[in-house]
Amino acid sequence: MLELVDVSKVYKGGKRAVDGISMRLGAGLLGLLGPNGAGKSSLMRIAATVTRPTHGKVLFEGTDVVSRPGALREALGYLPQDFGVYPHLTAREFLSYLAAVKGLSARSARARIGELLELVNLTEAGRRPLGAYSGGMLRRVGIAQALLGDPRVLIVDEPTAGLDPEERVRFRTMLSDLAADRVVLLSTHIVSDIESVASDIAIVAQGRLLRRGSPEELLREVDGHVWETVAGPSGAAAMRERYVISRMIRTAGGTRLRLLSPTPPPEGDAVQVTPDLEDVYLAVINGPAARAPQAVGAARVTGGRVVTR
Ligand SMILES: Nc1ncnc2c1ncn2[C@@H]1O[C@H](COP(=O)(O)OP(=O)(O)OP(=O)(O)O)[C@@H](O)[C@H]1O
């Protein structure tokens, strides 16, 4: 339905934010996963016809929407990363205004806004000015506005930023329901945002598409490469130098490390464990593809989750 063909974006000043990405999207949820600065927002702005690519095409049902964006814009719901609101308007007023811009009649807008406020759990707060909303509440207004026109293509850029854990779960479930019969493209740098809902995952870094596949396909890639071991302070420090660490938990008996290695680590009594998507993500981001010439010198990304018990 939506297709990106060899899309690149070079900003003024020469920054190549997107570098030759091609992908086809059909109904379902595609999770676009990558570290900060990977080019996710740039790619989503291009897919949403907000930014023109420097090179490449974007096709929606066969129409080139770089030159003729209208067809996609009518079918699109978009939540940008830097979504802004008018602080003096209430959520209802703000959504009514956007509904009018989209050409919805006042009557159908009223009904739709009621449904959406319910969906994002803002029915009570809907009559309060947006200036008094928390970050998470504003994000939920952003999600509601993206859904106003019942879009066939939904593009949401880091939609869970600022949401509390309960809202995240609610939102993931909602997106997964919506993806049953429409294209949903969701970007995030948080693996858990997509691991339970995306049947299709694309990993990007340095503007390039490093992997695309189902969670099962991606997991297969690191099967046999994930280990857990417990080390003392100096051993743990040495391992952090040597391996990509996907998790660290400090316990009374030492530091429990989860690390990536194609061969059994000689240090300690490492036990092979079942990989999860966080492991895949770190392996791909830190793998040879991420260290191609233009990425040389890039900081190594680690999970960096440190839990003290
Ligand atoms: N308008 C712009 N002009 C110049 N450089 C830009 C512009 N927008 C983004 N960039 C640069 O392009 C690169 C990719 O940015 P982008 O925002 O697309 O990445 P991202 O994966 O969405 O990261 P984040 O989650 O941090 O927003 C970054 O180095 C960023 O600084």
Give the 3-state secondary structure of the chain: CEEEEEEEEECCCCCEEEEEEEEEECCEEEEEECCCCCCHHHHHHHHCCCCCCCEEEEEECCEECCCCCHHHHHHEEEECCCCCCCCCCEHHHHHHHHHHHHCCCHHHHHHHHHHHHHHCCCCCHHHCEHHHCCHHHHHHHHHHHHCCCCCCEEEEECCCCCCCHHHHHHHHHHHHHHCCCCEEEEEECCHHHHHCCCCEEEEEECCEEEEEECHHHHHHHCCCCEEEEEECHHHHHHHHHHCEEEEEEEECCEEEEEEECCCCCCCCCCEECCCCHHHHHHHHHHCHHHHCHHHCCCCCCCCCCEEEC
Residue of the CA atom closest to atom 4 of ligand 1: 11
pLDDT at 288: 55
Q: State which residues of the chain have pLDDT below 50.
A: 289-301, 304-309
Q: How much is the pLDDT for 299? A: 38
Q: Where, residue-wise, is CATH 3.40.50.300 in the chain?
A: 2-213
Nearest CA to ligand 1 atom 25: 36
What pTM does this model have? 0.88
Nearest alpha carbon, ligand 1 atom 24 = 36
- Mutation test of ligand 1: which of 10, 11, 43, 81 has the most ligand atoms closer than 8 Å to its C-beta? 11
| Residue 43 Cα to ligand 1 middle (Å) | 10
Query: How many angstroms separate the alpha carbon of residue 40 from the centre of ligand 1?
Result: 8
Could you tell me if the ipTM is greater than 0.90?
A: yes
**What tens digit of pLDDT does each residue of 221-267 get?**
999 999 999 998 888 888 888 899 999 999 988 999 999 998 888 87
Is the CATH number 1.50.40.10 carried by domain 2-213? no
Site to probe by mutation for ligand 1, drawn from 40, 158, 206 as the one with most ligand atoms within 8 Å of Cβ, is 40
Q: Ligand 1 atom 7: the closest Cα is on which residue?
A: 11
From ligand 1's centre to the CA of 38, what distance in Å?
7
pLDDT at 307: 40
Q: Which of 10, 18, 32, 41 to mutate to test the pocket of ligand 1 (most atoms within 8 A of CB)?
A: 41
